[in-house]
């Protein structure tokens, strides 16, 4: 096996651990011999590495609530459309405005499929927000959101409204929980990460730099602000809002595990015969030194090697006991 194949193998082996949480176990089995497949996988991982260490804007996909009856769903339609003032688009790409259009959509949802009562006990709709930082092209974000909905919410009735009058452009999506097939939507943590990946992919398809890297892989530990705080700040009703940091052994081990993956990748790139790989190894070192996790563990005295020629094993990463194999933790 050539040096290039070995490096590609390391990128795939440890990069999948970093970026794709479904691959929870790193095995010591021989690397795949299908060179073309290995190269393709390594190229995808390499792009993810480059955009992450470049600190590409991270997408936000958040379930902000949902109606348990038609009264709550219709109220959300009115809220996101500013009572019909903003364009509201449905799953057939029909765009309408006005109070009558909002009432008509509510009636379609009420009687289309199983009847949704005015008040109920189970969630009949989910409210989703797709957001990007200020400066993102709102029109392209809306197109990416439309493609996201067509991919991830196929078979469900949904409406979407673009908000670009606030600091960061975002799209509100309200999706009917029951699909045409009768299957009900029940998003879980893994679904939300997949949704982030899909949304980032659609944004990149429209030329917008976007990433959906997990917090642990970025060495971060922030809890997102509640929606009411975000809205209060946007409306000037809240000047400051603290963001709580995640605590606990599971979170610490998850971030430490990510640092181990970064170390393996950095060491492989530093040993590469390709000059560009050396430069990428240096950028990874700088990125890791700047992570919240490293700063928390070591303060300003980062022990991550600044020179790619130094082995990460010579300078242990914070929170990692190198006398034992790294452990997988639940994410």
Whole-angstrom distance, CA of residue 268 vs CA of residue 289: 18
More confident residue, 258 or 22: 258
The percent of residues above 70 in pLDDT, for the chain, comes to 76
Domain 60-205 of CATH type 3.90.76.10 = no
pTM of the full structure: 0.76
Q: What are the extents of the domains in the chain?
A: 3-56+248-314, 60-205
Q: Which two tokens stand for residue 50?
A: 């480059």
Average pLDDT, the chain: 83
pLDDT reported for residue 253 = 87
Residue 294 confidence class, pLDDT cut points 50, 70, 90 = confident
Stretch 286-313: mean pLDDT, rounded? 65
pLDDT reported for residue 16 = 92
pLDDT reported for residue 264 = 95
More confident residue, 223 or 66: 66
**Segment 314-326, tens digit of pLDDT:** 444 444 444 443 3
Cβ proximity of 163 and 217 under 8 Å: no
Does 26 score more than 50 pLDDT?
Answer: no
Whole-angstrom distance, CA of residue 5 vs CA of residue 12: 10
Least confident of 41-50, 242-251, 267-276, 305-314: 305-314
């Amino acid at each position: 096996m050539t040096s290039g194949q070995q490096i590609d193998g390391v990128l795939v082996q440890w990069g999948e651990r970093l970026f794709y949480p479904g691959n929870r176990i790193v095995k010591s089995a021989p690397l795949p011999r299908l060179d073309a497949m290995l190269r393709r996988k390594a190229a995808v991982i390499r792009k993810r590495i480059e955009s992450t260490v470049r600190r590409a804007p991270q997408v936000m996909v958040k379930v902000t609530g949902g109606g348990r009856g038609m009264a709550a769903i219709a109220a959300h339609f009115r809220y996101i459309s500013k009572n019909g003032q903003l364009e509201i688009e449905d799953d057939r790409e029909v765009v309408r405005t006005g109070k009558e259009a909002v009432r008509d959509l509510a009636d379609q949802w009420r009687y289309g499929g199983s009847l949704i009562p005015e008040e109920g006990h189970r969630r009949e709709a989910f409210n989703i927000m797709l957001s990007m930082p200020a400066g993102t092209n709102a029109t392209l974000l809306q197109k990416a959101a439309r493609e996201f909905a067509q991919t991830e919410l196929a078979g469900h009735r949904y409406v979407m409204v673009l908000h670009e009058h606030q600091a960061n452009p975002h799209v509100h999506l309200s999706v009917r929980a029951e699909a045409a097939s009768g299957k009900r939507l029940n998003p879980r943590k893994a679904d939300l990460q997949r949704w982030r990946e899909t949304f980032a992919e659609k944004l990149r398809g429209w030329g917008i730099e976007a990433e959906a890297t997990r917090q642990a892989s970025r060495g971060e530990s922030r809890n997102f602000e509640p929606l009411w705080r975000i809205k209060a700040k946007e409306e000037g009703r809240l000047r400051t809002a603290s963001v709580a940091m995640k605590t606990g052994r599971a979170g610490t081990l998850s971030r430490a595990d990510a640092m181990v993956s970064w170390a393996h990748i950095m060491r492989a790139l530093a040993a590469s015969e390709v000059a560009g790989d050396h430069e990428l190894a240096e950028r990874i070192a700088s990125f890791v030194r700047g992570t919240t996790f490293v700063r928390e563990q070591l303060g300003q005295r980062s022990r991550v090697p600044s020179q790619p020629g130094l082995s990460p094993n010579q300078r242990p990463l914070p929170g990692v006991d190198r006398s034992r194999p790294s452990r997988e933790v639940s994410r």
